[in-house]
Structures are given as C-alpha cells and as structure tokens.
Amino acid sequence: MWASPTTLTPSFSQRERAETTCFLSTLCLNKALNMLDAKTIRKLFEALNAELAAHGVKGEIGICGGAVMCLVFQAREATKNVDAIFHPTREIREASRAVATRLGLAEDWLNDAAKCYFLATPPVHEVMELSHLRVWAPQAEYMLAMKCVSARFDSHDLDDAKFLLRHLEIKTPDQAFRIIEQYYPRHVIPPKTQFLLEELLDGG
C-alpha cells in the first residue's frame, strides 16, 4: 500500500505561486477537454517525481505514442494520456495514482498499455532528468516503426506516421520497411501497413 507522505507546508515565492496557479488553471481547462498538453505532462512528471522522492524511490519512464509527439517533436498540441513503459512498475503505478487523486485526473493518465510494442531496445531521446525520475522517449525511426506496427490508422497514428515519414525524409515504401524491420520481424507488420505506405509513398 502506498502510504501518504507527511504533509509539509512549503514557503512559496510570488513567482512560484503564480506558476502553480497558472498550471492548475491550465490543468482544469485540459481536464475539461480531456487532453494533456506538453507543459501539463512535464508538470505531471514533476509531481510524480515529488511523489517518488517522498517515498525514497527512483524510477524510469519511457514514453511513447502521443506524449512523444507532443514533448519531443511538437507535432501535436495535446494527447489524451501518457503511454509508457516504466520501472519499478508497482511503485510508479501507485505514485501516478496518488498524483491522479491529488489533481483530479483519471487513474490511467499514465499507463503501460503499449508495452507490447517494445520488442527491441530503442535508441532514445532524454526528455527529463529529475531527482528521482528519468524520462526518455524513442527516437524518430523507432517511433515510426511502432506506429506502423500498431497500425491504428483510424486514429492520430495516421497523422503521426505522416509526420515521421516527412521528418525522416523517407520517400519510398522500401525505405520505410528497412527502418521498421530493424526493430520488428516482418511477420508482425500488418498487411494494411504495407498498403498504407504504398499509398503514401509510391511515386512520392
């Protein structure tokens, strides 16, 4: 059971009070829209770091999905939640729930539903390095491979895939498949991915 830390009354400067008020106002707006923007996600990671620190736990989070598109590539304004893998799993899950309770968020604002797509160790971008929490994200080639293997092209994934193809200056389906196959065996790539890449890139 995740025990509540002793409540402390910090001494805030006027600037810190203004920043906190601004963050809470933004969070309330984003909650109403059911979305998390890059600034809000960073603040949530800071709150998560504080929760881990209060319990003497150090953790690591590898984000994927829309959070990467917001934080690393600035290709989206916001995302519904933060898909990730994390360690230690139980402690970070409990800490994220404590943050959710305190800030009135859905318990699954941080979740590991996409962990099945991490079949290989990705090359990474460092996103945040806090006292008790490291946050990283896969680099663009791995992100493209993940998007193509998950193949949820009726969602934001289609726009994300298009962005990553442009970002990586990929011109042909063969180029795209060479990247995907660095990280995933051919048999796990859905047929609709091949059709989509051919549609987007043939003659491009």
Chain segment 103-125, per-residue pLDDT in tens:
999 999 999 999 999 998 999 99
Nearest to 103 by CA among 18, 23, 19: 23
Quote the pTM value: 0.82
Q: Which residue has the higher pLDDT, 83 or 202?
A: 83
Q: Which domain holds residue 79?
A: 15-138
For residue 25, is it within any domain?
A: yes
Listed range (16-25, 29-38, 144-153, 180-189) with the worst mean pLDDT: 16-25
How many domains, the chain? 2
Query: Which helix (H) or strand (E) segment is 59 a member of?
Result: strand 59-64
Same domain, 121 and 188: no
Same domain, 128 and 147: no
For residue 155, is it within any domain?
A: yes
Same domain, 163 and 130: no
Terminal Cα distance for the chain, rounded: 55
HSE-up of residue 113 (Cα within 13 Å, Cβ side): 10
For residue 1, is it within any domain?
A: no
User: What pLDDT band is residue 153 in, cutting at 50, 70 and 90?
Assistant: confident
φ, ψ for residue 111, nearest 5 deg: -145, 160
Amino acid at 89: T
For residue 69, is it within any domain?
A: yes
pLDDT digits (tens, 9 = 90+) for 14-69: 554 444 444 444 454 455 446 999 999 999 999 999 999 999 999 999 999 999 99
Same domain, 159 and 173: yes
